[in-house]
Amino acid sequence: MQLTGAVVLVTGASAGIGHVAAARFAAKGAQVLVHGRDPARTTKVAGEVGGRALIADLAVAADRQRLAAEAINAFGRVDVLVNNAGFGYYGPVSAMAIDAIRRLIEVDLLAALELTRLLLPGMVERDRGAICFVTSIAGRTGVGGEAVYSATKAGLDTFAESLRAETARSGVNISVVVPGVVDTGFFETRGAPYTRRRPRPIPAETVADAVVRAVERDRAELWAPRWLRIAPTVRALAPGAFRRLAIRFGGTGSP
Ligand SMILES: NC(=O)c1ccc[n+]([C@@H]2O[C@H](COP(=O)([O-])OP(=O)(O)OC[C@H]3O[C@@H](n4cnc5c(N)ncnc54)[C@H](OP(=O)(O)O)[C@@H]3O)[C@@H](O)[C@H]2O)c1
């Protein structure tokens, strides 16, 4: 998809991967709608990339709907939606408050589904558009201590795959970018630091570049880092061995 002049909404662009992705889209000549929850951080990033700030708490239903309406009103259309906003949670499911479970599902899964539902029709009507989902290796393999987070990311993956089939005859491309461990404020926000030595965290730039590449080149799926795609392959070929290794080495830090 030609990015010059395209209207691109990046959710969760006030920090981390979304921040860099917003800058990368702006550098390609796109008109960038910088979404965030924190007004000061979001406005700062919007100023930095020459975009427009849109503030919304994606855990709030009215905010999600307002965000879609404001995004369309800004330039009369949205050509690209990057569903990137999200946060993590680390700890056993039995110790999770139901409100914490609900919040994770609302922000990490429902918000992306709802924004897609509201912005996709315009793209299909114009026969031009792209929707990119930032998922996670956690959604492909499952991770102990991150069951609900992993479930939301698996949900995004399956939603995207189904949507790709649904929109196959339109000019709208659906993509997923699957990151491993990324060096952002994600771990600080979830309240549990990443403690493993390997795999080493990759920079947010690597994931942001994959997002832009997926949209620009109409790709269905990209991994960051690329070698990580071996994990679900090993799991499919040798599930028993994979589970034993995951219990022995996993659980204390995967995103
Ligand atoms: N970092 C990793 O290791 C890793 C690995 C795999 C996948 N991912 C995924 O990558 C995406 C981006 O994460 P990141 O690493 O860039 O983390 P980050 O630096 O913590 O950024 C998270 C972004 O999501 C926004 N956000 C969080 N809760 C929100 C809410 N309730 N309403 C609206 N916006 C909200 C934040 O906005 P405010 O700051 O304004 O609140 C921020 O812009 C997430 O979906 C995450 O699951 C990350």
Centroid of ligand 1 to alpha carbon of 190 (angstroms): 10
Q: Residues 12-25, buried b or exposed e (16+ Cβ, 10 A)?
A: bbbbbbbbbbbbbb
Residues 130 and 172 sit within 8 Å (Cβ to Cβ): yes
Could you tell me the pLDDT band of residue 250, with boundaries at 50, 70 and 90? low
Rounded average pLDDT over 100-126 = 98
Mutate to test the pocket of ligand 1, among 182, 211, 222 (most ligand atoms within 8 A of CB): 182
| Element containing residue 189 per DSSP (H, E) | helix 186-190
- Give the residue with greater pLDDT, 243 vs 59: 59
Q: Is 109 in the pocket of ligand 1 (CB under 6 A)?
A: no
Tell me the CB-side half-sphere exposure of residue 225, using CA atoms within 13 A. Answer: 11
pLDDT at residue 195 in the model: 86
Clarify whether 149 is annotated catalytic. yes
Q: Euclidean distance between the first and final Cα of the chain, in Å?
A: 30
Q: Global pTM?
A: 0.96
Q: Is 115 in the pocket of ligand 1 (CB under 6 A)?
A: no
Using the predicted structure, report yes or no on whether residue 57 has a pLDDT greater than 50.
yes
Q: Is 186 in the pocket of ligand 1 (CB under 6 A)?
A: yes
3-state SS class at 126: helix
3-state SS class at 129: strand
Centroid of ligand 1 to alpha carbon of 187 (angstroms): 10
Query: What gap in Å lies between CA 136 and CA 108, rounded to an integer?
Result: 11
Specify the ligand 1 atom closest to the Cα of 188: 20
What CATH class does 7-249 carry? alpha beta
Using the predicted structure, report yes or no on whether residue 255 has a pLDDT greater than 70.
no
The ranges assigned to domains in the chain are: 7-249
Comparing 2-6, 30-34, 46-50, 192-196, which segment has the lowest mean pLDDT?
A: 192-196
Q: Is 190 in the pocket of ligand 1 (CB under 6 A)?
A: no
| Element containing residue 19 per DSSP (H, E) | helix 16-27
Tell me the CB-side half-sphere exposure of residue 40, using CA atoms within 13 A. Answer: 0
What are the residues facing 82 on neighbouring strands? 10, 132
Q: What is the pLDDT of residues 179-219, one digit of tens each?
A: 999 999 999 999 888 988 888 999 999 999 999 999 999 99
pLDDT at residue 254 in the model: 47
